[in-house]
Structure 1
C-alpha cells in the first residue's frame, strides 16, 4: 500500500471510529431524530436564508432528499418556512424554539466531544494544524473541480 492509499484508509478509519464512538451519545441525547435530521437542523441554524438549494449543497444531498427532510421537520415543529417581502417565490427555513433547543443540545455534544479529545489537540503545533488544513483544502478543491 502506498502513502496515498494508507492516508485515505487511515482517514476513513478515523472518521468511522469517531462516528462509532459518538453515535450512542448522539442517539441517546437526540432520540427520535435521525442523523440527517440533526445535520439539517445544524445547517439551518448556520446558513443565512437557508433554502432547499443551499441546504442540499451543504449536506451533499439532492434537493429532493432535502425537501423530504424539511417536510418531516416541519411536521415535527422543528423548523418553519418563511418568505422575504422582496421575493415571494423563494421559500426559506428557520428553526423554531424547539429546533433551537435541539441544535443547542447538538452543539453541547460537539463541545463535550472536543473536551474528551482535547489531549490529541493539545500537543498539535500550529504548523501541524496548518498542514492538515492545507491538505484538506486542496483535496476539497480537487473534489469540487471533478464534480463540476
Structure 2
C-alpha cells in the first residue's frame, strides 16, 4: 500500500471513530435536528452576511440543497430571513433565539470533545504539529484546485 493511501485510510478510521464516539450524545442533545441542519446553523453564525451562495460554499452543498435546508430551518423557527437596506435583492439569514440555543449546544459538545482529546495534542511536539498543519494546508490547496476544476467556488 502506498503511504498516501495508508494515510488517507488511517484518517478515515480516525474520523469514523470520532463520529462513533460522539454520535450518541450528539443525537440525544440535538434530538429533532439533522447534522446538516446543525451545521447550517453553525455556518449562519460564523459567516458574515450569510446567504444561499455563501452557505453553499461553506457547507460544500449545492445552492438547491441549501435552499431546502434553510426552508426547513425557517419552518422550525431556528432562523429568520432579512434583507440589507442597501441591497433589497439579496436574502440573508440570522439565527433566532431557538437557533442560537441549538447552535450553542452543538458548540458546547465540540468543546467537550476537544477537552477530552486535548491530551493527545499536548503530547505532540511543535515540529509534529507543524508537519501536520503543512500537510493539511497542502492537501486543502489541492482539493480547492480540484473543486475549481468542477466549476465551484471555494
**Whole-Å Cα distance in 2 between the matches of residues 130 and 90 of structure 1?**
41
- Residue matched to 1:40: 40
Residue 143 of structure 1: how far off its partner (Å): 1.0
The aligned length equals 148
- Residue matched to 1:147: 147
Residue 126 of structure 1: how far off its partner (Å): 2.0
Runs of 4+ in 1 over 2 A off after TM superposition: none
**Whole-Å Cα distance in 1 between the matches of residues 126 and 95 of structure 2?**
36
- Residue matched to 2:97: 97
- Residue matched to 1:10: 10
- State the TM-score, normalized to the length of structure 2: 0.94
Give the unaligned 5+ runs of structure 2: 149-154
SS of aligned partner of 1:49: coil
**Whole-Å Cα distance in 2 between the matches of residues 33 and 66 of structure 1?**
15
- State the TM-score, normalized to the length of structure 1: 0.97
Residue 125 of structure 1: how far off its partner (Å): 1.9
- Residue matched to 2:77: 77
